[in-house]
Amino acid sequence: MLEDIYIFTDSRSVLTALESKKNEPSIIKEIKNLLKENLNIKMCWVKAHVGITGNKEADRLANSAIDREEIDFNIKPSIMWFKKKLKTLIKYEWLNRWETSLKSRFLFGLMPENSEDRSLGNFYINQILTKHGWFLEHQSRLFAKIANCDCGLGLGTVTHYIYGCLILLKLGRNFSLETLQHLVS
């Protein structure tokens, strides 16, 4: 068995990462595993640039590694890197579908440019935007109900209720596309 080994470092961030329970780069995980397997290895922090013997030489050797053409050690991408990359790919794919899909063109007409900042939590507005909910056209697709509006002028679509339903006009509900666009922007 080896004697106790002390590794001195002036990198407090490395020591903090070794103590952290959060997702960390794979190299930190590997160091943690080595420290667990070899209980006789101790990590110690030393203050930088205060004249500690050997610290200046360690810095010089570390800086000389920058000039090397070959890499001694390949660091695997971290889980956080993969998550960020995956999120970017998912967002790109979603935006591509948003722009090219033949579905949801009504909503696309209201919001051709989409943003993660915009989040609607209103139950009724979401029914209008998605053309789902109490609209007769949607109900007919799901439950084989009659899709004609009671006013007799067309199907019970979102567009019909906004622009041409006599029943809603008589009730005094003056609702325009501009009003809806204002609500979603």
Return the pLDDT at 185: 44
In a domain, 84, yes or no: no
Last residue of a domain, one of 64, 79, 94: 79
Same domain, 37 and 73: yes
**Containing structural domain, residue 26:** 5-79
Same domain, 154 and 110: yes
Same domain, 10 and 68: yes
In a domain, 19, yes or no: yes
Same domain, 74 and 109: no
Same domain, 113 and 179: yes
Same domain, 177 and 117: yes
Same domain, 65 and 112: no
Q: How do residues 132-142 score in pLDDT, each as one tens digit?
A: 777 888 888 88
Let me know: does 156 contact 149? Beta carbons within 8 Å. yes
Number of neighbours of residue 129 by Cβ within 10 angstroms? 19
State how many domains the chain has. Answer: 2
Torsion of CA 115, 117, 118, 119, to 10 degrees: 120
Listed in order, strand segments (DSSP E) in the chain are 5-9, 41-45
Return the pLDDT at 157: 87
In a domain, 135, yes or no: yes
In a domain, 39, yes or no: yes
Per-residue pLDDT of the chain (185 residues; tens, 9 = 90+): 567 888 888 888 888 888 888 777 778 888 888 888 877 888 888 888 787 878 788 888 878 878 878 777 676 777 788 888 999 998 888 888 878 888 777 777 777 777 666 665 677 777 777 777 778 888 888 888 888 888 888 888 888 887 788 887 776 565 555 555 554 44
In a domain, 137, yes or no: yes
In a domain, 143, yes or no: yes
Q: Which residue has the tokens 């501009």?
A: 178
Q: How do residues 125-163 score in pLDDT, each as one tens digit?
A: 777 777 777 788 888 888 888 888 888 888 888 888 877
> How many whole angstroms separate alpha carbon 160 and alpha carbon 149?
9
Number of neighbours of residue 156 by Cβ within 10 angstroms? 21
Same domain, 73 and 134: no
In a domain, 97, yes or no: no
Same domain, 58 and 111: no
In a domain, 53, yes or no: yes
Last residue of a domain, one of 25, 44, 79: 79
